Amino acid sequence: MTGWANISQVKEKIAQTSAEDVTASYLERIRKSRINAYTTIWEGAIEKAREIDEQGHNGPLAGIPIAIKDNISTRGISTTCSSKILQGYVPPYDAHIVERLKDAGAIILGKTNMDEFAMGTSTESSCYGPTLNPWDKARVPGGSSGGSAAVVAAGEAPISVGSDTGGSVRCPAAFCGVVGLKPTYGTISRYGLISYANSLEQIGPLATCVSDIAALMDVIGGHDARDSTSVQTETMYKDALVDDVSGLKIGVPAEYFGAGIDPAVENSVWDAIQLFEELGASWEQVSLPHTSYALAAYYIIAMSEASSNLARFDGTRYGLRNEGENWHVMASRTRAEGFGAEVKRRILLGTYALSAGYHDKYYLKALKVRTLVKQDFDQAFKEFDCLMTPTMPTPAFKLEEKVEDPLALYLADVNTVPINLAGVPSISLPCGFTDGLPIGLQIISKHFDEATVLRAAYSFEQNTEHHTRRPAEVA
């Protein structure tokens, strides 16, 4: 059984058999996997499932297997950010969302592969090697939460969580043909999420359908006193699942259909917008004039924060240590060996951007651009309920196609990073296929208006078949 399934299908299966059987069959599938999407398989999952069978559990995710991105702390389960420098690190504590998931009865199957420290768009910079796209193993699954998207697409977990700093949930969701949400900044506690760029990132759910996204949000969303940026929200995400977009005002930002966009992607997105119109929504073009500066601002801010966030990995307390004649030599050797090329590149660029003499020119300027980008969105949302764009300008590209060209890789994020700069919510869901590769539609809304995003996405899903397609080898 199992494979591609949503929560209610898994629940049905558990009722017919047991949580243990379901978990065992997922683990079986994972062991046979050829896409390299898991970094750690948690063998305790079976026992946990058995416990739920024996003792019962009335949590909303009782017995539902889930995969967790390798940058989210799990007590007693290795958490490495797919980096050599964190080899051997086993957190002594659970991230807030992991606590919530456990309380809800979810069974952790394991940790998923990612770009090292979430720095990438292809999951190729992992120290465990790349994850392959289940739709075409010669292609990347997107990144940085490539593992989390791929396991859902390949039926190796019904649901998963990733993190999205500049598109890291939505990009792989688009490339793997699943649904992924980047919630409003502050909606989900980051406590336990290993920081890459704190001011930009949010944990986000991935699933085969919009209702599962809402179900996961109801479990992992909400205030946590341990994250000062976490916000008190009252949203009941499941309530947003209404198949009705009549009167919905959609803005279509011209800047997101710029040069380099794949014609098939452009067509699919326009088809989707047309469908919304048929369902009772209206659309108009809108301009977000500062979009072209967003990418540069994003990378400066993200790299600056990263250069500081990653300073703690010095071999002193946990993870890899390469000895040296004194502490500084030890720390240098550890970092030289422990970090991959992309991580080093970003630390160096971030350090540079914050340095005396350059701080104002780069970091401060980037903050100003960020404000302008945010204002673009505020302005747009005065007129529109949501915006629709392609998530990625192209379908999944080939493995190694962009490894040697970091700039080309950065450019792939052009439609996702402005959303993180602004802090607004956005979802990616399948809206078509080209040459057997999925295409993602991005729906963006204003701060804390996940309800509109989910309602639009749910309505689209109810009136289309894209989300029912699955990779050839998934039963």
Active-site amino acid positions? 69, 144, 168
Q: What is the smallest separation between the CB atom of 331 and another protein, expressed in angstroms?
A: 6
DSSP 8-state code for residue 99: H
Q: What is the smallest separation between the CB atom of 67 and another protein, expressed in angstroms?
A: 18
Instruction: Give the residue, chosen from 236, 242, 254, 311, that forms a contact with another protein under the rule CB under 8 A.
Output: 311
List own/partner pairs for 17-22 with CB under 8 A and 24 or more apart: 18/49, 18/53, 19/49, 19/50, 19/52, 19/53, 19/62, 19/63, 19/107, 20/46, 20/49, 20/50, 20/53, 22/49, 22/63, 22/65
Taking the least distance from each CB to another protein, the nearer of 29 and 370 is: 370
Instruction: Give the residue, chosen from 285, 317, 325, 382, that forms a contact with another protein under the rule CB under 8 A.
Output: 317
Please choose, from the candidates 369, 238, 245, 361, the residue with its C-alpha nearest in 3D space to the C-alpha of residue 298.
369
Would you list the DSSP string of 309-339? HGGG-SSSSSS-----SSHHHHHHHHHHHHS
Instruction: Give the residue, chosen from 192, 390, 395, 471, that forms a contact with another protein under the rule CB under 8 A.
Output: 192
Only one of the segments 51-59, 337-345, 348-356, 422-430 lies at the binding site for another protein (rule: CB under 8 A); that segment is 348-356
Taking the least distance from each CB to another protein, the nearer of 81 and 380 is: 81
Residue 411, token pair as written in the block: 């450019």
Taking the least distance from each CB to another protein, the nearer of 288 and 366 is: 366
Instruction: Give the residue, chosen from 150, 176, 193, 240, that forms a contact with another protein under the rule CB under 8 A.
Output: 193
Question: Is residue 95 a contact point for another protein (CB under 8 A)?
Answer: yes
Taking the least distance from each CB to another protein, the nearer of 110 and 251 is: 110
Q: What is the smallest separation between the CB atom of 186 and another protein, expressed in angstroms?
A: 9
Distance CA 157, CA 29 (A): 9
Q: In the sheet where 107-112 sits, what is the strand order? A: 38-41, 107-112, 65-69, 159-164, 202-207, 179-182, 426-434, 437-445, 386-390, 249-253, 282-286
Question: Is residue 362 a contact point for another protein (CB under 8 A)?
Answer: no
Residue 141: C-alpha distances to residues 124, 274, 395 (Å): 9, 28, 10
Taking the least distance from each CB to another protein, the nearer of 283 and 362 is: 362
Please choose, from the candidates 323, 303, 307, the residue with its C-alpha nearest in 3D space to the C-alpha of residue 315.
323
Question: Is residue 368 a contact point for another protein (CB under 8 A)?
Answer: no
Site string for another protein, 141-180 (x = CB under 8 A): ----------------------------------------
Q: What is the smallest separation between the CB atom of 191 and another protein, expressed in angstroms?
A: 5
| Stretch (H or E) spanning 10 | helix 7-16
**Which residue is listed with tokens 């300073």?**
311
Question: Is residue 93 a contact point for another protein (CB under 8 A)?
Answer: yes
Q: How far apart, in Å, do the first and last CA atoms of the chain sit?
A: 8
Q: What is the smallest separation between the CB atom of 355 and another protein, expressed in angstroms?
A: 6
Instruction: Give the residue, chosen from 112, 133, 233, 304, that forms a contact with another protein under the rule CB under 8 A.
Output: 304
Q: What is the smallest separation between the CB atom of 324 and another protein, expressed in angstroms?
A: 12
Instruction: Give the residue, chosen from 5, 161, 294, 331, that forms a contact with another protein under the rule CB under 8 A.
Output: 331
Question: Is residue 194 a contact point for another protein (CB under 8 A)?
Answer: yes
Question: Is residue 79 a contact point for another protein (CB under 8 A)?
Answer: yes
List own/partner pairs for 51-60 with CB under 8 A and 24 or more apart: 52/19, 52/105, 52/107, 53/18, 53/19, 53/20, 57/105, 58/105, 59/103, 59/104, 59/105, 59/106, 60/104, 60/105, 60/215, 60/218, 60/219
Instruction: Give the residue, chosen from 355, 371, 463, 468, that forms a contact with another protein under the rule CB under 8 A.
Output: 355
Number of residues that bind another protein (CB under 8 A): 46
Taking the least distance from each CB to another protein, the nearer of 419 and 437 is: 419
Distance CA 317, CA 88 (A): 11
Please choose, from the candidates 267, 264, 250, 212, the residue with its C-alpha nearest in 3D space to the C-alpha of residue 467.
212
Question: Is residue 413 a contact point for another protein (CB under 8 A)?
Answer: no
Q: What is the smallest separation between the CB atom of 283 and another protein, expressed in angstroms?
A: 35
**Which residue is listed with tokens 């946590």?**
224
Question: Is residue 273 a contact point for another protein (CB under 8 A)?
Answer: no
**Which residue is listed with tokens 């960020």?**
370
Q: Which of residues 208-247 bind another protein (CB under 8 A)?
A: 225-229
Question: Is residue 18 a contact point for another protein (CB under 8 A)?
Answer: no
Q: What is the smallest separation between the CB atom of 316 and another protein, expressed in angstroms?
A: 5
Residue 315: C-alpha distances to residues 308, 327, 340, 467 (Å): 16, 9, 15, 45
Q: Report the interface residues with another protein, using CB under 8 A.
A: 71-73, 79, 81, 86, 89, 91-93, 95, 190-195, 197-199, 225-229, 304-305, 307-308, 310-314, 316-318, 327-328, 331, 351, 354-356, 359, 363
